[in-house]
A and B are shown apart, each in its own frame.
Chain A
Amino acid sequence: MKNTWIAVVLVALAAFVLELFGWWWAMPIAGLIGGWLLRNGKQGFVFGGLGAMAAWLAFVVFFAFTSPMGKLLVVVSGVLGLDASLAFVPALLAILVAFLLGGLGGLTGALFAQSV
Chain B
Amino acid sequence: MRARFAKPILALLATILVASLLAISLGPLPALGPLLSPVGGFWSAAKDDTFQSQEQLNLPGLKNKVTVIRDVYGIPHIFAQNDEDAAFAVGYLQAKERLAQMDLQRRNAEGTMAALVGPDALQDDEFMRDVGLQRAAQASLAQIKPDDPSLLAMQAFANGVNAYIQSIEPNNLPLEYKLLGVKQVQPWTVLDEMTFAKYMGWDLIHSFDDMYFTTLVEKMGVQKVYDLFPVNRPIETPFIRSWPANETPLSSASPSPQLDLAIASILDRAEQANQLNQPNTWRGSNNWVINGARSATGKPILASDPHLGYQLPSLWYTVQIVTPAQNVEGVVLAGIPFVVIGHTRNIAWGLTNTQADVMDFFAEKTNPANPNQYWHNNQWNNMQIVDEVIDVRGGQPVHYPVRITDHGPIMSKQGFTVAMEWTGALPTFEPRALYNLNHAEDYSSFVNALKDFQVPAQNFAYADTKGNIAIWSAGLYPIRKSGDGRTIVDGASGNYDWTGYIPFDQVPHALNPDQGFLWSANDRPAPPNYPYYLGYQWDPNSRGTRIHQRLMQCDPCTIADMEALQYDSKDVYAEAILPTMLAAITPKDDFETAALNQMKNWNYFTTTDSIAATIWVNWLSNFRHATWQDDWEAAGFQFNADGTLKDWDAWGFNGDNEYQPPFEVFEDMVLHQPNSPYFDDLRTKDKVETRDDIIRSSFEKTLSDLKQEYGPDLTAWEYGKNHVSDIPHLLDVPVLNRVGIPIPGDGNSPNGQSNGGPSDGGPSWRMVVDFTDVANSFGVYPGGQSGSPISLDYDNFIPLWAQGKYFPLLFPGGPDQVEAKNIASTLTFEPK
Contact = CB atoms under 8 A, between A and B. Distances in A.
Given A59-B43, A63-B43, A115-B8, A25 B36 contact: no
Contacts of B18: 100-101, 104
B196 interface: no
Contacts of B735: 74-75, 77-79
B39 interface: yes
B181 interface: no
Contacts of A72: 42-43, 45-46, 175, 790
Contacts of A100: 18
B707 interface: no
27 contacts: A22-B37, A22-B170, A24-B22, A24-B37, A24-B39, A24-B40, A56-B38, A59-B39, A60-B43, A63-B46, A67-B46, A67-B47, A67-B50, A71-B790, A72-B43, A72-B46, A72-B175, A72-B790, A76-B42, A78-B733, A78-B735, A93-B32, A94-B37, A94-B38, A101-B22, A104-B15, A112-B8
A79 B733 CA distance: 7
A69 B34 contact: no
Interface of B: 4-5, 7-8, 11-12, 14-15, 18-19, 22-23, 29-30, 32-43, 45-47, 50, 170-171, 175, 179, 733-736, 789-790
Contact of B46 (A68, A81, A108): A68
Interface string A76-103: 1111110000000010011001001100
B3 to A, nearest CB: 10
A105 interface: yes
B175 A24 contact: no
Contact of B36 (A63, A81, A97): A97
Interface of A: 19-22, 24-25, 28, 41, 56, 59-60, 63, 66-69, 71-72, 74-81, 90, 93-94, 97, 100-101, 104-105, 107-108, 111-112, 114-115
Contacts of A104: 11, 14-15, 18
Contact of A20 (B7, B8, B30, B39): B39
A107 to B, nearest CB: 5
B23 A25 contact: yes
Nearest to A112: B8
B127 to A, nearest CB: 28
Contacts of B171: 22
Contacts of B39: 19-22, 24, 59
B293 to A, nearest CB: 51
B789 to A, nearest CB: 5
Contacts of B47: 66-67
Of A56, A75, A78, A94, most buried by chain B (CB within 10 Å of CB) is A75
B8 to A, nearest CB: 4
Nearest to A58: B38
A24 B45 contact: no
B791 to A, nearest CB: 9
B32, B38, B50: residue with the most chain A Cβ atoms closer than 10 Å? B38
A56 B179 CA distance: 20
A53 B294 CA distance: 71
Nearest to B38: A59
A108 B7 CA distance: 8
Contacts, number: 112
Contacts of A66: 47
B41 A108 contact: no
Contacts of A63: 38, 43, 46
Nearest to A105: B15
The 6 closest A-B CB pairs, nearest first, are A78-B735, A22-B40, A59-B38, A67-B46, A24-B37, A111-B8
A78 B38 contact: no
Nearest to A100: B18
Given A41-B7, A75-B175, 13 more contacts: A24-B39, A63-B46, A68-B46, A69-B43, A72-B42, A72-B790, A76-B42, A90-B36, A93-B36, A94-B41, A108-B12, A111-B11, A114-B8
Nearest to B4: A115
Contacts of B50: 67
A74 B35 CA distance: 14
Contacts of A93: 32, 36
Contacts of B46: 63, 67-69, 71-72
Nearest to B39: A22
Contacts of B41: 24, 94
Contacts of B733: 78-79
A115 B37 contact: no
Contacts of A22: 37, 39-40, 170-171
Nearest to A108: B11
A108 to B, nearest CB: 4
A53 B780 CA distance: 46
A97 B32 contact: yes
Contacts of A25: 19, 22-23, 33
Contacts of A114: 8
A101 B15 contact: yes
A68 B18 CA distance: 31
A77 B5 CA distance: 41
A80 B18 CA distance: 19
Nearest to A57: B38
Nearest to B29: A80
Contacts of A71: 46, 789-790
Nearest to B33: A24
Nearest to B10: A111
A108 B734 contact: no
B19 A108 contact: no
Contacts of B22: 24-25, 97, 101
Nearest to B5: A115
Contacts of B35: 76
A104 B41 CA distance: 21
A78 B738 CA distance: 13
Nearest to A67: B46
Nearest to B23: A25
A97 to B, nearest CB: 5
A56 B33 CA distance: 12
Contacts of A107: 11, 15
A72 B35 CA distance: 13
Nearest to A78: B735
Contacts of B175: 72, 75
A12 to B, nearest CB: 13
B630 to A, nearest CB: 44
A60 B32 CA distance: 16
A80 B33 CA distance: 13
A88 to B, nearest CB: 13
Contacts of B23: 25
Nearest to A71: B790
Given A68-B46, A97-B33, A115-B5, A75 B790 contact: yes
Given A71-B790, A72-B790, A24 B34 contact: yes
Contacts of B29: 80-81
B36 to A, nearest CB: 4
A114 B18 CA distance: 23
Contacts of A20: 39
Query: Which among A20, A25, A56 has the highest number of chain B CB atoms within 10 Å?
Result: A25
A100 B733 CA distance: 29
A81 B32 CA distance: 13
Output the residue of A76, A93, A100 with the most chain B CB within 10 A: A76
A91 B649 CA distance: 44
A36 to B, nearest CB: 11
Contacts of B14: 104
Contacts of B36: 24, 90, 93-94, 97
A81 B38 CA distance: 20
B37 A28 contact: no
